[in-house]
Every structure is written in C-alpha cells, then in structure tokens.
Amino acid sequence: MEKLQADVTIVGYGPVGRMAAIALAEKGHKVIVVERQLATYPLPRAVCMDHEIYRAAKRHSFGGDIGSYCTPSPRYTWMGMNWETLLDIDWTVESISGGPEAYFFYQPKLEDAMAQRVEDLGNVTVLYGHEAVHYSQNTSGISVSISKRSDGTPKVINSQYLIGADGANSVIRRQLGADWTELGFNADFLVVDVALNSGVELDIPAAGQYCNPERPTTFVPGGLIDGRPIRRWEFMCHAHEDRTTFDTADKVWPLLEKWVKPSQGELIRHATYTFRSLVAKKWADGRVFLAGDAAHLTPPFLGQGMCSGIRDAVNLAWRLDLVLRGVSGAKLLQAYEQERKPHITRMIEIAIYLGKIICVADPEAARERDRRYLAGEAPPPPALPYIEAGTLFAGTPAAGQLSPHTQVEFNGCLKELDEITGPNFTLVLRDATQVSTLTPSQLEILRALDVAIIGLSGRAVGVMTVNDVNGKFSKFMTDHQAVAYLARPDGCIYGSAASEADVSALVNSLTTTMALQSHAPSESALASL
C-alpha cells in the first residue's frame, strides 16, 4: 500500500480546503489534499464575499485578477408585497478592510485563482478522484486511509493534523461523531443563474429580496464570466410543491419570465437546495478539525456561507503554522473552536432573522410584516459579531475586532498595508520609536511570531515607517484611544496598548495567550526585525 507523508492532510478541495492549503503552504508546510471529485466544479454556487474575504484573497496572493470576475456590491434592498422598501442594507460604504462592504463574484474563477496559487506554491499535492475512508490518531500523528474512486486502490497519508473541509455530508465529521445543533430555519429554494447577453440591462433593483408571499424571491448579481454579468434568482418552494421536480427546465423559465426573458440571457444553472441552519456540536478531536460546511450551514440571506468557511480556514491555519514550527504549544489550537463556533452561530442567527422577513407565505402575515417595517416598528438587523473570547489580549480596546486596512505610502509608493506585511502578525505603532521600550526578550517573542512592525511616524531600526495617507489607521487608534495594536494573520486584532508603557504589556501577554514555547533572547533580535 502506498504511504504518503505531509504536515497537514486536508479532505475537501472547495474554497475552504483551498484557503487552508494556501495559508499553510505559503508558510512552508507540506500539504496533501484529498478531493473525491475529478475536477473543480464548473458552475457557480456561492456568489457573495464580504470585505474581509476580499482582503484575504489579496493578502494570500490569489486576488490579482479578481476584478475580471468580481464586482462591488450595490445596495441590498428588501421590498414588501407592493414594492415598498422594508429594509435597505448599504454595502457600498467604505469597510474597515478598504473598499465596499461586499462583492459579488463568479465562483469557478475564484477557485481557479486559488488553484493557481496552490500550484505556484509547489508544496501541495492534490489527489483528485480520491475519498477519505477512515482516520486514526495517536500522540505522534494521524493516519488517513483513502481510496481511489475509479478502482479502489488504497493509500495512507501520515501527517500531523487533519482538516475536514469536505462539506455538509462530511465523512470526517461523521467519524468525529459531531452531531448537528439545529438553529431553527429550514426552507427549500430553487437557485437559478443566468448569464445576461451583451448590452442587456434589467429593469429591477441591482440586489434585493422581493418579500411577496406569492413567491418569495431573491435576485442578486453573480459576478462576471468572460465579461458577461451573471444574475442569480432564488425562488422559495411552497410547502405544497414537490422540490424534487421544481427545478425542471419547463418550470424555470416561467418563474424567470417576469424578471428576465429567454432572449436576454443564457440559463447556465438551476438546482433546488434546502437552506438549513446547523452548527456541529464539536469541531475538533485531538489532531482533527472541521471547517466550512463540515462544521456549519447557514441560510444565504447574509452571504456568509463561503465567507465563514474561509474565515475558519484562515483562523485555523495560522495556529497550525505556529504549532508545526514549534513556536506555540498545541493548546493554541483549542481556541479555534472557542472563537469560530460562537461567531458563526451569531452569523447564522442574523441570517435567520433576515430569512424570516422574506420567507412569509401567508398573505395576512406578510401584510402585517410590511406594516410593521414601514411604520418603523420592526427592529433593525443585529450588528455583525466580533470575536469575544479566545486568543486575545482580553480587555484591551478593539481586541477581537477586524483591523483597519487601506493604502499607505511606503518608500515613495502607494501600497496596501498587506502588500508590505504579508499574511503575518502585524504590530502597528503610532510612533516607530515606541519599539525602543521593548526588551531583547520581547523582541525575540515578536521575531518568533514573524511580526511585521509598522510605524505611522518616526524612525527606528526594525520598523517599517509608512505614511498614513488616508488617515485611516490614525483615526482607528484615536477612536479606540490606543497608541498601538497587534493584528493576527487573520486580520483580527489580538490586542492594543493605551499608552507607550502598555506596549510592553501587550507583547508580554503573547507568551501565555499564544502558548509560546521557551525562546531565549538573541543579540540579533532587533536586527532581525
């Protein structure tokens, strides 16, 4: 039997598995991916990414051509029975990550870009047409038995860790014994994608929900394919309708006809899905971790299905990197579920809140819903969550929030901050000279974590001083009464310092919070920074 060796085995090669592979491989780790399909799925599924995921695409160097298949989001409008605006979500405003709050994209192109990044990195092996059968683990590693689907040829992959990113029907989750927690939303929808013909402009809002009990309908952009805009519709199936026959071709166009005519575009995909709200009761067991749809399923009304899975992958990957390199102890991995599970649970609850606005099939209930929203009696959607507990310097301003991001001037050129720092920890100082308050031992801690140090003013050895041309970083610090903050590789703020003296406390906290192993101070610590 063929035996393969890797640092990390990933089961599933959708966007979540690809993100995990990229984030690990760019840190030098050897990854083997097991994918049961023979090739990338050629049709769109997810269509929306938020600013955090758009930033991640660029931070991890697979966003170079993203403008060819991705467009900034328009306003997201919810209309009642008579087309009155019930809810208006403005995703066009400037986000903390730079650019608008959300984008719409064509998934196959995104996956192609991710696959190209994987190939360029060179230390990832993707085994298409193979499926995971079983895993076993002990204190020294994990073995994953796999089978080639075409002829049943068995293989074994020996690695340090296993990530199950194999979707809602995850083999890894089943062996993990992780039952689902139901959050209370379940609805069948027909999902339809149409590529519009050249020059076609539809007389409908750019993105919205038509909350008509006769046929609750979603319509949003779907990115670009070869320059042609894609539009998506999602039609709710009523309880009396048979979902198994709902997506036949003879039923799709009659549903579309009030929105788009056959002469205006090409039908490229239609399928019926059950939108569910589920969270796995446990996400980890020893060396095994779940991510993406293997760990949670959300209704799509907030556009957070793929986004949350990629967020899982990035959160888990930087932890695995530190543990595999011997910088941190395995205790650091425990906070993955501690952070991600409450966060996605809250995201799903907000998606359910939105879903309950549209998925009203009773006309009387719909009229009452419209009345309440138009009268201002209905509460607004809840705010999106931050990380509240986990690998954070708890109690410091902005800990758990997303770090700001935009262009800065560096060495006479305009660059996005992530272009300068890479996908690393980043310590941002209001004044570069604040680094002089750190001891050799503290500088060694920063070196061990590969921390990029940025100064917004002043000069100091080991600090990259930038010109905050938009004032975004300075304003963020002023708003949070901070003189410094430390951002993690996933863009989440680990903690901040309210004064120059507190910068030392911020760095000291890393030893415990990051489960750092012993690092003796080196005389070259400052120079290496």
Q: Is the pLDDT of residue 481 over 50?
A: yes
Residues 451, 317 share a domain: no
Identify any residues that bridge with 380 across adjacent strands, giving them in sequence order: none
Domains in the chain, number? 2
438, 484 in Cβ contact below 8 A?
Answer: no
Pick left, alpha or beta for residue 513 (phi over 0 → left; psi -120 to 50 → alpha; otherwise beta): alpha
pLDDT at 529: 40
pLDDT at 250: 81
359 part of a folded domain: yes
CATH number, domain of 32, equals: 3.50.50.60
Residues 151, 40 share a domain: yes
Region 196-206: mean pLDDT is 93
CATH number, domain of 441, equals: 3.40.30
Model confidence pLDDT, tens digit, residues 365-402 = 999 999 999 999 999 889 999 999 999 999 999 999 99
Q: Is the pLDDT of residue 242 over 90?
A: no
Residues 524, 422 share a domain: yes
Residues 426, 367 share a domain: no
Residues 286, 364 share a domain: yes
234 part of a folded domain: no
Tokens of 133: 């059968």
267 part of a folded domain: no
Tokens of 524: 């070259």
Residues 315, 166 share a domain: yes
Q: How far apart are CA 173 and CA 289, in angstroms?
A: 9
Residues 421, 347 share a domain: no
Q: CA torsion, points 327, 331, 337, 342, in degrees to nearest 10?
A: -100
Domain-terminating residue out of 350, 374, 398? 374
| Phi, psi for 481 (deg, rounded to 5) | 50, 50
Domain-terminating residue out of 325, 352, 374? 374
If you ran DSSP here, which 8-state letter would residue 303 be given?
S
Q: How confident is the model at residue 518 (pLDDT cuts 50, 70, 90)?
A: low
14 part of a folded domain: yes
By DSSP bridging, strand 180-196 and strand 228-236 are: antiparallel
76, 202 in Cβ contact below 8 A?
Answer: no
Domain-terminating residue out of 353, 374, 395? 374
Tokens of 206: 């750019």
Q: Is the pLDDT of residue 239 over 50?
A: yes
Domain limits for position 316: 2-66+106-178+281-374
Q: Is the pLDDT of residue 524 over 70?
A: no
76 part of a folded domain: no
Q: How confident is the model at residue 88 (pLDDT cuts 50, 70, 90)?
A: very high
Residues 161, 22 share a domain: yes
> What is the pTM assigned to this prediction?
0.95
218 part of a folded domain: no
Q: CA nearest 124: which of 22, 19, 12, 16?
A: 22
470 part of a folded domain: yes
Residues 411, 367 share a domain: no
Sheet holding 70-72, edge to edge: 48-50, 102-105, 70-72
Residues 290, 153 share a domain: yes
Residues 519, 453 share a domain: yes
CA distances from 378 to 215, 301, 353, 358 (A): 22, 18, 11, 14
443 part of a folded domain: yes
Q: How far apart are CA 375 and CA 405, in angstroms?
A: 38
Residues 323, 411 share a domain: no
**N- to C-terminal Cα separation, the chain:** 46
